[in-house]
Amino acid sequence: MPTPLIIQRGHEDYNTTLQAMRAYTDSRTADSADQLWLVTHDPVYTLGLGADPSHVLDAHGIAVVQTDRGGEVTYHAPGQVIVYLLIDLRRQRSDRRLLAREFVHGIEQAVIDTLAAYNLHGQRQTGAPGIYLADGPFEGAKIAALGLKVRVNGCTYHGVSLNVAMDLTPFSWINPCGYAGLQTIDMRSLGSDATVEQLQVTLTGQLIQQLKGHAPAAA
């Protein structure tokens, strides 16, 4: 299986990225390359397909955008690593296409392994996609959010965001991922001086390793 292309899109308006993801997915053929898009956005709240708008408590002038991913409301801003995964799940298994829940599990594991590389411990929580701190004074705080769109043909877009070094205040103006009072955290608050650029490299590397882990064995 070819390694996904890493596309560095830089700092981009959320709606521009959203339309570009849809356009690429609409135009895909059996030969289209899988891609990982790296991007940062100006402050924006995004709502998943099943999101309750009342979970935006007070937007304070921050744009609120309805998307077509799964999940509830989340927040994007500078200081996050955002990776959008434009992947054809049909390519990821030799016997059958990779199931969406397996794909989500792999993305979460990539975040856990990324945090471990910086001596931070993340964990899953049942029924709540994303990654949460596993120990310490901020145990249970959310550090990474995940939301995907999986087309009926097995092609995915949207992806994962990891909080690195950002202003966390706007998370208090929503119920993050639909949970009132859910604490959010970033790596800087945990003592890490890692940069967004460093985390982009680490996280994309871990995501590629997870994808390769589901690839057919070499003949």
The domain in which residue 181 lies consists of 5-213
Given a cut of 60, whether residue 112 has pLDDT beyond it is yes
CA 155 – CA 209 distance, rounded (Å): 19
pLDDT in tens, 165-214: 999 999 999 999 899 999 999 999 999 999 999 999 999 999 999 998 85
Tell me what pLDDT residue 92 has. Answer: 59
104, 83, 186, 59 alpha-carbon torsion, rounded to 10° = -100
On whether residue 54 sits in a domain, the answer given is yes
Tell me what pLDDT residue 216 has. Answer: 37
On whether residue 190 sits in a domain, the answer given is yes
Active site positions, annotated: 177
Helix axes 100-116, 196-213, angle to 10 degrees: 140
**Contact of 39 with 12, CB cutoff 8 Å:** yes
Tokens 């709540």 belong to: 128
Given a cut of 70, whether residue 96 has pLDDT beyond it is no
DSSP state of 175: -
35-40 vs 5-11, strand pairing mode: parallel
How many separate domains does the chain show?
1
DSSP state of 174: B
pLDDT in tens, 37-93: 999 999 999 999 989 999 999 999 999 999 999 999 999 999 999 999 999 998 755
Tell me what pLDDT residue 128 has. Answer: 86
Given a cut of 90, whether residue 151 has pLDDT beyond it is yes
On whether residue 218 sits in a domain, the answer given is no
On whether residue 219 sits in a domain, the answer given is no
On whether residue 44 sits in a domain, the answer given is yes
CA 57 – CA 76 distance, rounded (Å): 16
On whether residue 120 sits in a domain, the answer given is yes
On whether residue 187 sits in a domain, the answer given is yes
CATH number where 134 lies: 3.30.930.10
The burial of 211, by beta-carbon neighbours within 10 Å (0-12 exposed, 13-18 middle, 19 or more buried), is given as buried
On whether residue 185 sits in a domain, the answer given is yes
